[in-house]
Amino acid sequence: MFICVYLRFPGFFVTLFAALLVALGLPAQAQSYPARPIRLVVPLAAGGGMDTVARGVALKLTDALGQTVIVDNRGGGGGSIGAELVARAVPDGPTIIMMSATAVIHPLMYKARFDALRDFAPVSQVTTQPYMIVVHPALPIKSVTELVAYARANPDNLNYASSGNGSLIHLTGELFKVTTGTRMVHVPYKGIGAAYPDLIAGNIQLIFASIISAQPHVRAQRIRALAVTGARRAKSSPELPTVAEAGVPGFAVTQWYGVFAPAGTPRPIVERLNRDIIKVLQHPEVAARLAADGAEAVGSSPQQFAAHVKAERDRWARVIRQAGIRGD
């Protein structure tokens, strides 16, 4: 009877047999993973915030996985060079990437050969970190409410810096303008570090800055901090209100870093990476280091991270349309 059915439906049994082989093989593949060192691509130059986080995670992940995790910096193209490299990698686990919200924003503004959800398997969100609104101390502004009032009374007289056109800092500024009905001038820099001398000199007046980059200047009273952009106060700067608390209800923006694998990576490998990344983020040394930099560890499931990435993409697509932003 079996032979007769097979003769009538040979394609069905070939497909079924192949499926059984895959189902039986995946657990074994996950158990043997990783069989060789892992390359964690950082699509930015060495020395930045993401690079620092990636190296801290890689060090502890090496212990958890029992294989060396090597950070490979592949900067250029606003992160697209490194992203495209990993999107084309063989999806068997040895090549993964850490990306930020820029991975979602860049394809919305520029021609890109990758999509954050189509070409990658989200593994886990690693961190979340708010920005800090900082201004030149000579401005008669000591709160977000005063900033909004000043910007409305002086349209296009405030210059705000970003780390580049299409960066999350840029879009945070545009969202602030749209939300508050203000007009400010965007001044892009090649990295936010390059903007601080001009802010301190008074050539620009405002930055939505990373906490780690702003804090030394705030403590030295070279610039003034007004608020943080997260939904709750930052543990590293609890004295600062959120923007929502300070008079702009509903406004909340956080930068985030997360780990992705190439699309098609077997589910058991994604889950193994997810489990060990969460363990790494729960390590007191890692959590303390992130907190000192103004970030918080997250450690989400692949499903939660995928939902977060989609929500971010939809949100920033709306902001780009509302603000009429165009790529260079």
Q: Residue 299, CB half-sphere, CA atoms under 13 Å: how many?
A: 15
Q: Is the pLDDT of residue 1 over 60?
A: no
| Intra-chain end-to-end CA distance of the chain, in Å | 67
Question: Would the CA dihedral through 255, 258, 264, 268 be positive or negative?
Answer: negative
| CA distances (Å), origin 233, targets 4, 84, 170, 257, 315 | 70, 35, 22, 19, 22
At 27 the pLDDT is 52
**Which pLDDT band, with edges at 50, 70 and 90, does 328 fall under?**
low
Chain center to CA of 156: 30
Q: Is the pLDDT of residue 127 over 80?
A: yes
Q: Is the pLDDT of residue 267 over 70?
A: yes
The span from the CA of 250 to the CA of 19, in Å, is 48
pTM value is 0.84
At 177 the pLDDT is 97
Residue pair 268/93 in contact by the 8 Å Cβ criterion: no
Of 126-135, 158-167, 253-262, the poorest mean pLDDT is in 158-167
Calculate ∠ Cα 84-51-41, nearest 5°: 30
Q: pLDDT by residue (tens digit) across 10-51?
A: 444 444 444 444 444 445 555 689 999 999 999 988 877 889
Of 153-167, 265-279, 299-313, the poorest mean pLDDT is in 153-167
Please report, rounded to a whole number, the percentage of residues in the chain having pLDDT higher than 70: 90
What is the C-alpha radius of gyration for the chain, rounded to an integer number of angstroms? 23
Mean pLDDT comparison of 166-170, 234-238, 264-268, highest-scoring range: 264-268
Average pLDDT over residues 159-166: 91
Q: pLDDT by residue (tens digit) across 213-264?
A: 899 999 999 999 999 999 999 988 999 999 999 999 999 999 999 999 999 9
The residue whose two tokens read 């995946």 is 26
| Two tokens, residue 313 | 């993409």
Domains by residue range for the chain, with CATH:
38-129+255-323 (3.40.190.150), 134-228 (3.40.190.10)
Greater model confidence, 5 or 313: 313
The span from the CA of 67 to the CA of 35, in Å, is 8
DSSP state of 193: G
Look over the chain and give the mean of its residue pLDDT values, rounded to a whole number: 89
At 16 the pLDDT is 44
**Which pLDDT band, with edges at 50, 70 and 90, does 111 fall under?**
confident
DSSP state of 252: -
At 31 the pLDDT is 65
DSSP state of 114: -
Q: Residue 230, CB half-sphere, CA atoms under 13 Å: how many?
A: 22
SS3 90: coil
Q: Is the pLDDT of residue 71 over 80?
A: yes
